[in-house]
Amino acid sequence: EPEVTQTPSHQVTQMGQEVILRCVPISNHLYFYWYRQILGQKVEFLVSFYNNEISEKSEIFDDQFSVERPDGSNFTLKIRSTKLEDSAMYFCASSGGGERPDTQYFGPGTRLTVL
Amino acid sequence: GENVEQHPSTLSVQEGDSAVIKCTYSDSASNYFPWYKQELGKRPQLIIDIRSNVGEKKDQRIAVTLNKTAKHFSLHITETQPEDSAVYFCAATIPFSGGYNKLIFGAGTRLAVHP
């Protein structure tokens, strides 16, 4: 069964540095998402992406964040200048294909640690 | 605003007992309600879902009920087993006209099944 994949699994960075988190959504899906989960808390929506543009974003997704689909397979989340409070697990998800178009399938996550 | 309340936050049962987790959503436009199981350090995995045109759905030991009028939905696990131990998240989708949706998660229920 196809799965969403993410790299790296763990990223450690210094405050103020830029990070890029990478995702490969399921190949026939149309909609792509980023969520984050601070340790011990709920999963929070960041952004959705469709037809090469952002379709919806949350208050968390400020000017420090950007998303891109640089080619036909990858979907990236960039944080320009990381803050301590950006430390979290970041999940990519995709939906919009096959028998279950509503269902969002999650990747394994990237644990971002900002020091 | 968009919100999903989930109770209880922790649930401890003996193997073989039933477990019930309840959620309430705020946005009446929500039309799809997935449940995710998350084991420690792993991705959220869809275990069952229900759409707003259905009142109940069952898959082996797992069932979900939906009361649209009251904006309540519940997860029922029967004959619990130790491998059911995990954090369970309910979610409600906010649909958009472009065909994509946004998941609003509950705070999660940590279920512990004791042998």
**A69-115: per-residue pLDDT in tens?**
988 789 999 999 999 999 999 999 999 876 677 889 999 999 999 99
Predicted pLDDT of residue B41? 84
Q: Are strands A110-114 and A10-13 parallel, antiparallel or unpaired?
A: parallel
Q: What is the DSSP letter of A72?
A: S
Which tens digits make up the pLDDT trace of B6-21? 999 999 999 999 999 9
Contacting residues of A for B108, CB less than 8 Å apart: 42
Question: For residues B36 and B91, what is the distance between their CA atoms, to the nearest angstrom?
Answer: 8
Predicted pLDDT of residue A72? 78
B110 CA to chain A: closest CA distance, Å?
10
> Is any Cβ of chain B less than 8 angstroms from the Cβ of A20?
no
Predicted pLDDT of residue B94? 81
Predicted pLDDT of residue B1? 66
List beta partners, residue A97. Answer: none
Predicted pLDDT of residue B53? 85
Which tens digits make up the pLDDT trace of B76-112? 999 999 999 999 999 998 877 766 788 999 999 999 9
Q: Cis (ω within 30 of 0) for the bond into A8?
A: yes
B77 CA to chain A: closest CA distance, Å?
21
Rg (alpha carbons) of chain B, rounded to whole number: 14
First to last CA, chain B: 41
Contacting residues of B for A101, CB less than 8 Å apart: 99
Q: What mean pLDDT comes out for the span B60-84?
A: 96
Which tens digits make up the pLDDT trace of B29-49? 898 999 999 998 889 999 999
